[in-house]
Amino acid sequence: MTSVSHTHPLVFTFGILGNLVSFMVFIAPVPTFYRIVKKKSSEGFHSLPYVVGLFSAMLWIYYAMVKTNVTLLITINSFGCIAETVYVAIYFTYATKKARMKTLGLVLLLNFGVFGLILFLTQILCQGTKRTEVIGWICMAFSISVFVAPLSIMGRVIRTKSVEFMPFNLSLALTVSAVMWFLYGLLLKDVYVAVPNISGMILGVLQMILYGIYRNSKSNNVATEKELPTTVVKVDQEQPTKVNCEVYPVNISSLDSENGEGKDAKNLEDSQINSQV
């Protein structure tokens, strides 16, 4: 299959559709941050998915600027940079002092240190098409690693038989986005755009299959339940002055453990959201 121009109607159409779907995915964490602002607390959520999302968007903008003629990659990732920066800023505002220091360290390490090193080395050591290839390989490797990250939440779905933290709409949106960007890269014969989105399509389809299998299943929380005794007082109707005291077992879920797992799953979900071209 021969490549076509970036101005070809099909390339432009898939690029626009990819922008639209990716835009919706980028704004998916808005309810989470509305909740953080409203409660003035980060509530134990982690900043890593948003710092990683910002780093990914920065890498793809750099690749698009070096390669040229891939404006639609610049538009969506520019919006991604703005969105992720806002998310990180909100998190930094309402997080605890310890979480702020960790977030600051991540930003300095990843978004300034690693990105700055990539920028410096590719500008000094690489020229022309070689520079484009090196940056493309870095983008592809990073995108694949981010796409693979949600495998842990899929494992949790299988283990608990619950799809509570793997919503179908998100899985569908991520799959459609991967399809659009795969076709965009395929028509342009850009392996660095097309190949990572193959992983995205496969994982997205697998998530939807898991959702179909477990959507009607009850969560398997047997391992997290504790059986504690509670005293039930029964009054003898025939002799009101006589009290019978019997002990019955009552299952009480460990709420702290459940909340912790929920927040970890939410961060995995956000990590999945950020695995965009």
* pLDDT, tens only, 76-90: 999 999 999 999 999
pLDDT tens by residue, 154-190? 888 888 888 877 788 888 888 999 999 999 999 999 9
Give the chain's residues under pLDDT 50.
1, 220-258
Angle, to 10 degrees, between the axis of helix 97-106 and the axis of helix 71-94? 150
Taking CA atoms, 14 is separated from 22, 80, 162, 176, 180, in Å, by: 12, 18, 34, 11, 5
Alpha carbon 105 to chain centroid, angstroms: 20
Q: Name the residue type at position 205.
A: V
pTM of the model as a whole: 0.76
How high is the pLDDT of residue 53?
Answer: 92
Q: What percent of the chain has pLDDT over 90?
A: 49
How high is the pLDDT of residue 277?
Answer: 67
